[in-house]
Amino acid sequence: MDRLAAFEQSEMDRLKAEGKVRTVTYRQYFSNRMFYKKMLDKYTQYGLLER
């Protein structure tokens, strides 16, 4: 999963540098990041995951 996160982050950085933050691809990567962050926060909140 770390490889995928690193790939998506590098793609987001590339798209941002090109000024393409309004593209569907950028928004999908951003949405994925937010979704998984919220999910991990909930797991931590309910004691299902230790950070």
Q: Are 8 and 32 in contact (CB under 8 A)?
A: yes
Q: What is the DSSP letter of 22?
A: T
| Residue 30: exposure state from Cβ atoms within 10 A (0-12, 13-18, ≥19) | middle
**Domain ranges (residues) in the chain:** 2-45
The secondary structure element, H or E, covering residue 41 is helix 24-45
* Strand ranges for 1-51 from DSSP E: none
pTM of the model: 0.82
The two tokens of residue 2 are 């770390």
Q: For the segment 1-51, what is each residue's pLDDT rounded down to a tens digit?
A: 689 999 999 999 999 999 999 999 999 999 999 999 999 999 999 999 987
